[in-house]
Amino acid sequence: MTHNAIRLETNVGPNGKLEVTVPLAPGTPVEVLVLASNRDEFGDLVDATRSSTDFWDNPWDDEDWNHA
């Protein structure tokens, strides 16, 4: 089964209700996937700065890069 994506943005209404208008014929079967927007666009970058870099400190990596 192939899928064609249509990207729409809307806000959740009262009681979690969503209303969107799609360019599809009535009765067309669809699959709905809801992704909540993350307003903090740089959150993943901040998390990366807090992560450990110990995995780079190993003799195999040093050997590969020092003799490249």
The 10s digit of each residue's pLDDT in 16-65 is 999 999 999 999 999 999 888 777 777 778 777 777 777 777 788 777 77
Residue 5 domain flag: no
Domain range holding 51? 14-66
Residue 68: pLDDT band by 50, 70, 90 thresholds?
low
Number of domains the chain is built from: 1
Residue 60 domain flag: yes
Residue 8 domain flag: no
Contact assessment for residue 9 and residue 19, using Cβ atoms and an 8 Å cutoff: no
Measured between alpha carbons, how far is 32 from 16 in angstroms, rounded to an integer? 14
Residue 4 domain flag: no
Give Rg (Cα) of the chain: 23
Residue 61 domain flag: yes
Measured between alpha carbons, how far is 28 from 9 in angstroms, rounded to an integer? 20
The verdict on pTM exceeding 0.85 is no
For residue 16, give the DSSP letter. G
Whether 5 has a pLDDT exceeding 80, the answer reads yes
Residue 25 domain flag: yes
